[in-house]
Amino acid sequence: MSQFLHPIKCQNCNGDIKLDLDNLASYCPYCGSQLMIDISTLQTVLLEREKTKRQIRNAEIRLEKQKDENKNFTIMWVTYFIFILILAAGGGLYLLFSK
Ligand SMILES: [Zn+2]
């Protein structure tokens, strides 16, 4: 199933068709006639496809960035926690040996 679908009407029977943008040479499922796609529709369709692809790509990039940010956030807190542990251990040792 293609994710690039564009609604058009059959010139022969006026049936509603979802044009598969990955396979532009299509036939009407109602009357079987070959669909004639005019150039402006084709341009719209191709622009839509590019836009959809770009949106998907952008969403993927955003997701990657989010993952990286989460990773950095975890690393920051682990580092902070280790730092606090070292401070606490140092403080404990100081208390132990200063008496
Ligand atoms: Zn038709």
- The pLDDT of residue 38 is 73
Phi-psi category of 97—alpha, beta or left, where left has phi over 0 and alpha has psi -120 to 50?
alpha
Split into its structural domains, the chain has a count of: 1
Cα 44 to averaged position of ligand 1 atoms, centre (Å): 21
- The pLDDT of residue 1 is 45
Per residue in 64-82, pLDDT tens? 999 999 999 999 999 999 9
**Residues, CB-to-ion distance under 5 Å, ligand 1:** 10, 12-13, 15, 28, 30-31
Q: Give the Cα separation of 17 and 7 in Å (integer).
A: 6
Cα 64 to averaged position of ligand 1 atoms, centre (Å): 44
Percent of the chain predicted with pLDDT > 90: 46
Instruction: Give φ, ψ of 5 to 5 degrees.
Output: -120, 140
The domain of 26 spans 5-97
By CB atoms closer than 10 A (0-12, 13-18, 19+), residue 1 is: exposed
Three-state SS at 27: strand
